[in-house]
Amino acid sequence: MKLSITIATNEKEFDRMAAWRITGEILNNPKAVIGLSTGQTTRNMYAIISDIYKLYPFDVSSVTLFGVDEVANVSRAYDGACYTMLRKQLIDTLGVRPENFIMPPTLSDDFERECRLFQEELEKRGGVDLQILGLGANGHLGFNQPGTPFESETWLSDMDEVLEERIRKETGTPPGKKLGGLTLGVKNIMHARKILLVAKGSHKAGIVKKMLEGPVDAAIPASVLQLHPNCEFLLDQEAASQLKTELY
C-alpha cells in the first residue's frame, strides 16, 4: 500500500501545513471531532491556528476537541499536564466551549473508570474525524510505549523512565507515588477516520525510517499507521532525511 507522505521544505512551512490541515477540517466539518497531541512539535502549529482565528474567526461552536493522552497523578495546574497545555495553546484562544473540550482527569481514585468514560464520550460524539499524532523518540503513540498490543483500548500506561524522572522533578512527586499516562489505545487511534502524524527534526529521522520502512511491529507502535487507510505522514526535510526517496 502506497503511503501518503508529505515533506515540507522547512519548519515554517511544516507548521503552516499542519495548522491548515486542522483548520480545514473544522471549516469543512463544523461538527468535527478532532484529537490533539502536545509537545514541541505541535506548539507552533497551534499558534498559527490561533492567529488564523484572530484574523478570520470561524465557527467552533459545535466542534469537539480532545487530547489523545493525559499525565496521571499530577495536578491540572501543572504546566506539563496535557489539559493545561492545550487550554493555553489552543482551546482558550478559539473560545471552545468547556463541554466541547474532552479530557480525562489527571487525578482519580478509579482510572479504569475514567478510561472507560473518556472512550465512551468520544463514541457518543460519533467517533474521531481527525487525529493529530506526534511521534515519540522510541516510536510511541500517545502513551502507548513499545510493546503495547495493537488491540489495546483506552488505558493507564507506564511512562518511559526519562519522562517520568522529569515530571517527578518538576512536580515534586515522591518515588512512592505512581505516575502514568492515560491514553487512547492503539485500537482506538486506528479507528479515527483520518490521521495526521507530524514529525520534525533530525533527531526523529531514525525512528521515522523505522516507522515507515520497517515492519509493522508492536516494538514500534507508530509502524501500525502503515495500515491505516487515511493517514498522512507530515515531515520536514530533516525528519525525512533517512528515507528512501522512492517512498515519497
Query: What is d(CA 142, CA 54) in angstroms, rounded to the nearest whole number?
Result: 29
Quick: pLDDT tens for 29-67: 999 999 999 999 999 999 999 999 999 999 999 999 999
Query: What is d(CA 121, CA 118) in angstroms, rounded to the nearest whole number?
Result: 5
User: What single-letter amino acid sits at 62?
Assistant: S
CA 114-115-117 angle, 5° bins? 65
Q: What is the pLDDT of residue 248?
A: 63
Residue 229 to residues 19, 164, 191, Cα–Cα distance (Å):
22, 34, 10
- Position 247 pLDDT exceeds 80: no
E strand spans, the chain? 4-8, 33-36, 64-67, 69-72, 101-102, 130-134, 155-157, 180-183, 195-199, 231-236
Q: Where are the domains of the chain?
A: 4-238
- Fold type of domain 4-238: Rossmann fold (3.40.50)
The answer to whether 247 touches 5, Cβ cutoff 8 Å, is yes
Question: What does pTM read for this prediction?
Answer: 0.96
Quick: pLDDT tens for 186-226: 999 999 999 999 999 999 999 999 999 999 999 999 999 99
